[in-house]
Structure 1
Amino acid sequence: MDGLIAIIRRQWRVVGLCVAVFVMLGIGYMLTAVPRYTARTSVLIDRGNRQVVEQLSTIGGVLDDEASVLSQVELLRSETIGLSAVDKLELSDDPEFMAGRRSLLLAAVSDIRSILDIRRWPGGGEVRFDQIEAQRRQALANLLGNMKVSRVGRSYVLEITFTATSPRLAAAVAGAIADAYLTDKLDAKYDATRRAGTWLQERIEELRQRSLESDLAVQRFRAENGLVTANDRLVSDQQLTELNSALIVARADTARAQARSDRIEAIIARGQSEAIVTDALDSSVISSLREKYLESSKREADISRRLGQGHVQAARLRQEMAEYDRLMFDELKRIAGSYQSELEVAQSRERQITLGVSNATDISVTAGETQVQLRELERAADAYRNLYQTFLQRYQEAVQQQSFPVTEARIISRAVPPTTASEPRLSLVLALCLALGCGVGGVLGAFREFRDRFFRTGEQVRDILGLEYLGSVPLVQPQTGSRPSTEPVKGEIYRKNELSGFATEHPSSAFAETLRSARIAADVQIDRPHRVIGIVSMLAGEGKSTIAVNFAQTLARSARTLLIDVDLRNPGATRALGQHAEEGLLEVLLEGVAPASAMLADPVTGLKFLPAVVRRRIPHSSELLASAAMARLLAQVAGEFDYIVLDLPPLGPVVDARAIAPRVDGFIMVVEWGETSRKAVKETLDAEPQIAGRCLGVILNKVDAARVRLYEGYGSSDYYASRYTHYYHETHPDPTPVSIGAATRVKTAREKPDSSR
C-alpha cells in the first residue's frame, strides 16, 4: 500500500492531464453530436402456447427456459427479421434512414473502396454490381447497428429499442421489427409441422437398419478374435498378472543368491578362513576341523610355554594347525561353488519368467488393441440403438399431436414516438471520459514507473545491492562569477570552480554531512592506522571526482590526508584542483620523481594532492596501477598520511579500478541519482567481488531535492528527510559573534533555503 501511494504521488500529474484531455474531448463531442431518439416496444413470450414443445421435450427447467429466451433475443437480431422490416417500410429508399450518423471518415473510406472496385472500371469484367441489393444490405446494417434487444429482468418479456434521428422513424422501425418477429414465428411453426412427419419417418427406417448392422458386427468381431473373458477380465491379462508376481519373487531370489556369492568370493579372495558365513556355521566338516584346530592350538600354546617355541612337539602341532586351516579354506571354496550354482539356477529361472512376461505382454497388448476396436463397435451399436428408440418415440408422440397455427409471442407494448432525445447523455459521456482518462493515465503512469530503473532512495541501495547507504548529495549548481579570478600559485591547489570546495565552504550542508557519514564508515570498517580509500563509480560523469575532492578536503580538516588522481584516462580531480600542475603521478611512477615534489598543497585545509598530468593517451594505465612502483608509492606515503583518497576510474569502461583493488582498504561507490541503472550497478559489483566485498557504502549523487520527496516511503528514513533541513545550512556560517537577543534573527537568515540548490 505504501508503494502504491508513492506511485500515485509521483504520477498524479500524468493521470490528471489525461483526465483533462479526455474530458475536453467529451465536452467537444457533446457540443457537436447530433441528437438521437429511442423508441421502445415490448414482446411477451407466452408459455401457455408451447404445450406441444413442452410435451416433446424430455428436459425442462430454468436452464431450458433461459436458453429459449436468449434464442428469441438472437432471433430478433437476425438478418431475417431485419430484412423483413426493411422491406416492409422500404427503408433502403428512405434518405433519412440511410444517412444515419455515418462520419465523414467512413464516408471517405466508402468512396475510396468504390473507386478501387475494378468491377466499376470500363472493361473490368462482365459482373454487374446490384445497386439495389447493396442499398438493401446497407439499410440492414443501419437497422442492426441502431437496434437493441434485451430481456427484462428474469421474465419472458423482451424489450426492443431502436434509435434514430427522428422520433417518428424510431417508432415506425421498432413496431415493424416486432411485427416481423410475430410473422416469422407463424411461418416457422407452419413449415416445421409440415416437414417433421416426413423427415422423422425416413430417419427412423435408416436408424433401424444401422442398429441391426452394428449389433451383428459386434458379435462377429468377438467370434473372429477369440476374446475370451473370465470374471469380466481377459485370460491373457490374468496370466500377465501372475507372471509379474513370479518375476518379482525370482528377482528377489537372484539378488539374494548374488549377494551370498559375492560375500563368500570376497572372503576367499582375502584368504580369510576364519570368516563366518551361514553355511559355514551349519557345516559339520568345518565345525569338526575348527574343534581340532582349537585343540591343537591349545596344546601348542601349553608346550611352548613349558618347553619353548622350538620344541619338536610344538612345531608338529603348528603344522597340524596349518593343515586344519587349509582344509577349512577348501571347505569354504566348496561352499562358494554351491553358492555359485544356486546363483546360476536363480538367474536361469528369472530369465525364463522374464521371457514369459514378455510373451504375455505381447499377447495382452494385441488383445488390448483388439478390445479398442471392440469397444468402438459396441459404442456405435449403443448409439444407433438409443437413437432409434428416441426417434421412434418422438415420431409416435408427434403423430398424436395436432399442430395449430398459433404464435408463442405477442406484443404487450406498442412503440410510440419519443418526446425527448436519448443521445448524447451528458453523465454517461463524462463518466466514460473520466474512466478513459484514468485508465490511459494509469497505463502511462505504470509505464513510466516500469521504465524508472534507477536508484532513487537508500532503501533501494540496501535491498538491491546489499550495501550500506552513506547518504545523498543534492544537486548543486555553481553560481556564475562567485569565485574571484586569481592566478594559480605553483605548488598549491587552485580550485577551478565552486563545487571543488563546496563541502569546505558549506560545512553544515547535507553535502558535508554525507561526506562525514562516509568518513565514519571508513573509520569503523577499516581497522588500520593508515587507510587507503577509493572513490569509484559505474560510469563517467556521475560526479565521483567532485565527491573525491570534497571528501578528501573534509578529511584534511582533522587528519593528514592525501588525494591521488589515479584516473589516467580522464583525470577529473586534476582538472578541478591541479590543472596548472606540471608533474604528477605519471612522473612519480615512470621517471622516479619524488612524490613530495609532485604534490600540491591546499593552504586552507592542508590537503595534499598528487595530480595526474596526462599529456598523451595511456593505453596501459591498468598495468601502471598494478605495478610495483604504485605499490611502493602507496607504502611510502602510508607513513606520512592518515588517509589516502584515490580518485579511481569508473568500473564500466576500464579495468583500472580492478587492477589497483588489492591495494585499496575500502571503496566508496558513487551512483548518480535517477541516471544510472540499478541492474547495471548490481551486475558490475557482482562481477567485481573484490571491490564489492570492500565497499564501505554507496553515495547517491546529484539528487534532485524537489523530486526526491516523491520517492519517500511512509515510515522510512527518507520520509523524515524534510525534518533534517533544520540541521543543514547551505550558506557559509557567519563567523561574526552575535548577542543572545540577535540569535533569532541570525538563525532565521541562515535557515532560509538557498535558491541555487
Structure 2
Amino acid sequence: MTILGSEGRAPRSVDANTTQPYGDSPPDEIDVSKLFAVVRRRWRVLSIGVIVGLALGLAYVATTTKIYQSAVSISLDTVEAANLRELSGVQSVPLTESQVTTELEIIRSEAIAEQVVARLALQDNAVFMTRPQTGVSRLKRLAGKLLSGSAEWILPQSSDIPPLPPSAEDQEAARRERAVSILLGNMGVKRLRDSRIVSISYSALSPDLAARVANAIAEVYITDQLESKYDSTERATSWLKQRSDQLREELAQLDAEIERYKLANGLVSVSGTDTSDSELARLATQLSQAQTILVSLEAKQRRLQEIVERGDTSAAVSATATQAITSELRSRFLDTLKDYNSLVSRLGAEHEQSLRLKGELDQIQFLMFEEIKRSERITRNDIALAEEEVRRLRFAKAKKEEELGAGSEAIRKLRELERNAETVRGLYTNFLQRYQQSLQEQSFAVSDVRIINNAQVPGRASSPDAKRIAVLSALLGLILSGAGVAFLEFRDNKIRTEEQLRDALGFEFLGSLAAVGGGRISLPFGSRKAEAGTSEIDLPAILKHGVKKPLSTFAETLRAIKMAIMLKAQADPMTPTGTVIGLMSCFSGEGKTTVSANLAALLASQGHKVMLLDADLRNPGLTRALQRPVEHGLVEILLDDADWRSAVVSDRETGLDIIPVKHGRAVHTSELIGGQGMRTLLSALKQDYDYIFLDLPPLAPVIDARAGLPLIDGLVFVVKWGATNLRDAEKVLQRDPRIREKAVGAILNFFDARKAQAYGDYGASYYYSAAYRRYYHD
C-alpha cells in the first residue's frame, strides 16, 4: 500500500454538472493509457467475448455445408476469329462496349440456363438440387416443422375436398424450373477489368459438379452463339435467294418485251437485219458495258484512295486479296500477324521477339500500301481511258440513231425499255453478289468466342472459409464484448482512484487502507465482555491494527493522516490547544469507525493525549465494539450535564480514552451534536487532550455530522474503495460546501492494491505499490 501525504493544497473547485473522474485530459481527447487500463481490468470479459465468438464461428463452419467453386475463362471477339474472317473474305466488325455488356447478360439469361440443365439433366441430379445448409437454417427448418406440427394439432382440419395431385409433366416442369433457378443463383459472370475476357464461375456441393456445370455453361454459350449466327445468316440467305430469283424473272420479261417491241415497230438496220444484230444494238451494248466498267473503276479508285488515307490494315489485306502481285505480301502479313498475336499473348508486347515481328509487320504493311498506291494510280489511268471510250461510244451511238431515225417516238420508247432492263440487271447482279457472300458466311461459321481456361475440379472448398470466419467471429465477439465493457464502464461510477477524490470530490488524497480482518468490526471467538464499572478495556485487534503492525502500509497511512492534521493545525492560528478532528463518510459501511479508532490508537501509542468520542448517536458502532455496558455516555453528558470523566474508558495498551454512547435516549441527535453542550464538552477536552476525534455519523442518512461542522477544526473523509458511488457522493457533498473547507483530506478504505493497478493513470502512486513493498512489513 502506498501513501500520499498532504501538501497543504486547497481542494479544486468542482462544477456540479461536470464529472471528469480520471485525470485532467480534455474530454475530446482519447487517453490511450486509460484504454489499456480498461483492458487490464476487463480482460476477462473481453476474453469471454472472443472465445464465445470464436466458438460460434467454428460451430457455424462445422454445421455449414461445404461449397466448391470452379471457373472457366472465355474470350469474346478473339483475334483468331477476326483473322479467319479476313482470310475467308467475311466482313469483320469488332465488339463495342455495349455489345460486350449484352453478351454478359446473354450468358446470365434463362435460355442458356435451360440448355445447360437439359444437357446435363440437372433436374435429376440429387446433389445439384440439394440446397446448402447452415446451423441457423437447420434450426429454422426444425422450428418451422415444430410450428407447423403444432398448428396442425391446434387448428381444426378442413373438410374441403383436397386438391388433385400434380401430373408427371407438371412435376417435371417444376423440377426444371427449380433447377434453372438454382443454376442462375449459383452462377457468377464477371468481366476482367476492361478486357474481352469473361470469367464464368459456378458453386456446387460437389467439386466435380461445379467444374462440369461451369464448362457446360461456356460450351452452351458458344454453341448458342454459333446457332444464332447460322440462323440469322440462313434467313438472310433465303431472302436474298428469293429476291434474286424475282429479279431474274423480271429481267427475262423485260428482255422479251424489248424484243417484241423491236419486231412490232420494225426497228431494223439499213441492211435489213434485225435490231438485235444491228450496229445500234451493238453500240448500245458496248456503251452499257463501258459505263459499267467506268463505274467499277471509279468505285475501286475511291476505295483505294480511302484505304491509303486512313491507313486501314484490315482493309488493305482485303483489297489485295485478288491481286496476284501482292498475294505473297498478303500471305506473309497474315502469317506474321498470327505469330505476333501468339507471342504477345504469351510473352507480352515488349518482348524482343514480339518487337522483331512488329518491325516485320510494319515493313510488310509499308510495301502493301505502296502497292495499293501504285494500283490507285493505274486505276486512275484506266478511268481516263474508260471515260474516253464512253464518250466515243455515245457519239457513235447518237450518230447511228440519227441514221436510223432515232428521234422518233419508237426509238425513245425502246431506249426507255432498255434503261429499265439495265436497272433491273444491275439490281439482279447486286443481289446475286450478296447472296453468294451470305452463302459463304453460312458455310464458314466462325465463333467470336473461345475458351481460354477450362474449369478444373477444385481441390478445396471455397465456402465456408474457416480462417476468415474464425477471425471475423472472434472480432465480432471482441466488438460485442467491448460494447459490453463500455456499458459496464459507463455504469461504473464507483470511486477507485485518487484522481477522482482530488478532481471530482475536491479532497486531498491522504492515502489508502487495506481491508483488515475481513473489513468488519468483530471480537475474537471466546473473548469476554468488559465488566460494568471498569474504566479500562482492551480494544479489539481490528481497532488497533496500526498499533500491532507499526511498519505496515496501514500504519503508514495513519501517520500520513496525522501529518496532514498537524500541517492544518499549524496553519490555523485559531487552534491554540487541542485539535478537534471529525471522521465522516457519505454512507454507512465505509469503515469510518475502524479508521477513527485505529488513528486515535496510533497517536495515543506515540505518547499523545487522545480522546475518541462515539458521536454516531443513532448507530454507535464504536460503542458496540467495546463490548461493555454503558451507564454514562455522551448523551448523558450532553443532556444531564454529567461529568465527562465518569464516562471515559481507557485502552490498557495504548492509553486511548473513549467516551461511548448509551444507545436509546437521544431523539434530536443533530441538536445534541451541534448544541452548546457539545461545544462546552469540547472546550473542556481541549484543555486535557492533544487530539479529540469524533466518530461522526454518515452524511447521507442524517444531518448530525453537518450540525457538528462548526465545532471541529478539521475532518478526515473516509471513502470505501470500489463501493462508494461517485455521483451520489458529489450530490451529498454539494449540500454543504463547508465539508470541503474543513477537510484535511480523504482516504480510500478497503483498498485492493492488485485491482487498483488497472485504474487511473500510470503515474498514480499506488501503481508502483509493488516497488514500495520493501519498505513495509505487512
- The normalised TM-score by structure 2 is 0.56
Q: What is residue 648 of structure 1 aligned with on the other side?
A: 696
| Residue 609 of structure 2 is aligned to residue 560 of structure 1 | yes
Query: Tell me, what secondary structure is at the counterpart of 1:722?
Result: helix
Structure 2 residue identity aligned to 1:106: K
Supply the distance in 1 between the matched residues of 2:590 and 2:180 (Cα, whole angstroms): 68
1:316-465 correspondence to structure 2 within 5 Å: 412-465=452-505
Give, in angstroms, the shift of residue 126 of structure 1: 9.8
| Residue 118 of structure 2 is aligned to residue 99 of structure 1 | no
- 8 A Cα contact 1:578 1:600, kept in partner: no
Q: What is residue 517 of structure 1 aligned with on the other side?
A: 560
Q: What is residue 145 of structure 2 aligned with on the other side?
A: 111
Deviates more, 1:541-550 or 1:140-149: 140-149
- 8 A Cα contact 1:483 1:497, kept in partner: no
Give, in angstroms, the shift of residue 178 of structure 1: 5.4
Candidates 572, 591, 607, aligned match of 2:621: 572
Supply the distance in 2 between the matched residues of 1:168 and 1:532 (Cα, whole angstroms): 93
Structure 1 residue identity aligned to 2:514: P
Structure 2 residue identity aligned to 1:665: D
Candidates 468, 488, 499, aligned match of 2:530: 488
Supply the distance in 1 between the matched residues of 2:738 and 2:587 (Cα, whole angstroms): 18
Supply the distance in 2 between the matched residues of 1:451 and 1:184 (Cα, whole angstroms): 68
- 8 A Cα contact 1:599 1:611, kept in partner: yes
Give, in angstroms, the shift of residue 419 of structure 1: 4.1
Query: Tell me, what secondary structure is at the counterpart of 1:106?
Result: helix
- The normalised TM-score by structure 1 is 0.57
Structure 1 residue identity aligned to 2:600: A
Change (3 A) 1:129 1:629: farther
Deviation string, structure 1 residues 244-296 (Cα, Å, up to 9, x no partner) = xxxxxxxxxxxxxxxxxxxxxxxxxxxxxxxxxxxxxxxxxxxxxxxxxxxxx
Change (3 A) 1:83 1:725: farther
Change (3 A) 1:184 1:106: farther
- 8 A Cα contact 1:36 1:166, kept in partner: yes
Q: What is residue 275 of structure 2 aligned with on the other side?
A: none
Q: What is residue 69 of structure 2 aligned with on the other side?
A: 38
Candidates 669, 674, 681, aligned match of 1:621: 669
Structure 2 residue identity aligned to 1:514: T
Supply the distance in 1 between the matched residues of 2:105 and 2:584 (Cα, whole angstroms): 72
Q: What is residue 255 of structure 2 aligned with on the other side?
A: none
Structure 1 residue identity aligned to 2:668: H
Change (3 A) 1:111 1:408: farther
| Residue 667 of structure 2 is aligned to residue 636 of structure 1 | no
Q: What is residue 269 of structure 2 aligned with on the other side?
A: none
Change (3 A) 1:639 1:38: same
Change (3 A) 1:665 1:135: farther
Give, in angstroms, the shift of residue 125 of structure 1: 10
Q: What is residue 630 of structure 2 aligned with on the other side?
A: 581
Change (3 A) 1:548 1:92: farther
Structure 2 residue runs of 5 or longer lacking an equivalent are: 1-31, 80-91, 230-444
Structure 1 residue runs of 5 or longer lacking an equivalent are: 58-64, 190-404, 731-757
Deviation string, structure 1 residues 536-559 (Cα, Å, up to 9, x no partner) = 112111111111111111222332
Structure 1 residue identity aligned to 2:655: G
Q: What is residue 171 of structure 1 aligned with on the other side?
A: 211
- 8 A Cα contact 1:556 1:607, kept in partner: yes
Supply the distance in 1 between the matched residues of 2:106 and 2:588 (Cα, whole angstroms): 72
| Residue 759 of structure 2 is aligned to residue 723 of structure 1 | no
Structure 1 residue identity aligned to 2:642: V
Change (3 A) 1:588 1:414: same
| Residue 170 of structure 2 is aligned to residue 122 of structure 1 | no
Supply the distance in 2 between the matched residues of 1:406 and 1:114 (Cα, whole angstroms): 58
Deviation string, structure 1 residues 288-337 (Cα, Å, up to 9, x no partner) = xxxxxxxxxxxxxxxxxxxxxxxxxxxxxxxxxxxxxxxxxxxxxxxxxx
Change (3 A) 1:598 1:145: farther
Supply the distance in 2 between the matched residues of 1:29 and 1:544 (Cα, whole angstroms): 55
Structure 2 residue identity aligned to 1:567: D
Q: What is residue 667 of structure 1 aligned with on the other side?
A: 715
Candidates 27, 42, 60, aligned match of 1:11: 42
Change (3 A) 1:151 1:494: farther
Query: Tell me, what secondary structure is at the counterpart of 1:711?
Result: coil
Change (3 A) 1:93 1:677: farther
Query: Tell me, what secondary structure is at the counterpart of 1:729?
Result: coil
Candidates 715, 722, 726, aligned match of 1:678: 726
Structure 2 residue identity aligned to 1:2: S
| Residue 642 of structure 2 is aligned to residue 593 of structure 1 | yes
Change (3 A) 1:52 1:149: closer
| Residue 511 of structure 2 is aligned to residue 471 of structure 1 | yes
Change (3 A) 1:89 1:105: farther
Q: What is residue 391 of structure 1 aligned with on the other side?
A: none
Give, in angstroms, the shift of residue 612 of structure 1: 1.8
Candidates 599, 607, 614, aligned match of 1:551: 599
Deviation string, structure 1 residues 9-45 (Cα, Å, up to 9, x no partner) = 2233333344344445555566665544221123556
Give, in angstroms, the shift of residue 704 of structure 1: 1.7
Q: What is residue 743 of structure 1 aligned with on the other side?
A: none
Query: Tell me, what secondary structure is at the counterpart of 2:722?
Result: coil
Structure 1 residue identity aligned to 2:132: R
Change (3 A) 1:578 1:15: same
Give, in angstroms, the shift of residue 672 of structure 1: 0.9
- 8 A Cα contact 1:493 1:602, kept in partner: yes
Change (3 A) 1:181 1:541: farther
1:300-315 correspondence to structure 2 within 5 Å: none
1:136-215 correspondence to structure 2 within 5 Å: 142-143=182-183, 146-149=186-189, 152=192, 155=195, 157-175=197-215
Query: Tell me, what secondary structure is at the counterpart of 2:489?
Result: helix
Query: Tell me, what secondary structure is at the counterpart of 1:163?
Result: strand
Supply the distance in 2 between the matched residues of 1:149 and 1:477 (Cα, whole angstroms): 75
Deviation string, structure 1 residues 523-547 (Cα, Å, up to 9, x no partner) = 2123223222111112111111111
Supply the distance in 2 between the matched residues of 1:443 and 1:20 (Cα, whole angstroms): 16
- 8 A Cα contact 1:493 1:578, kept in partner: no
Deviates more, 1:627-636 or 1:428-437: 428-437
Supply the distance in 2 between the matched residues of 1:584 and 1:188 (Cα, whole angstroms): 115
Change (3 A) 1:586 1:120: closer
Change (3 A) 1:80 1:640: farther
Change (3 A) 1:106 1:171: farther
- 8 A Cα contact 2:64 2:132, kept in partner: no
Structure 1 residue identity aligned to 2:622: A
Structure 1 residue identity aligned to 2:140: L
| Residue 749 of structure 2 is aligned to residue 701 of structure 1 | yes
Give, in angstroms, the shift of residue 413 of structure 1: 3.8
Give, in angstroms, the shift of residue 134 of structure 1: 7.8
Change (3 A) 1:632 1:181: farther
- 8 A Cα contact 2:553 2:776, kept in partner: yes
Supply the distance in 2 between the matched residues of 1:136 and 1:654 (Cα, whole angstroms): 84
Change (3 A) 1:633 1:476: same
- 8 A Cα contact 2:64 2:133, kept in partner: no
Structure 1 residue identity aligned to 2:37: A
Candidates 508, 513, 516, aligned match of 2:551: 508
Q: What is residue 279 of structure 1 aligned with on the other side?
A: none
Change (3 A) 1:416 1:52: closer
Give, in angstroms, the shift of residue 474 of structure 1: 0.9
Q: Work out which of the two has the higher radius of gyration on C-alpha atoms and give 1 or 2.
A: 2
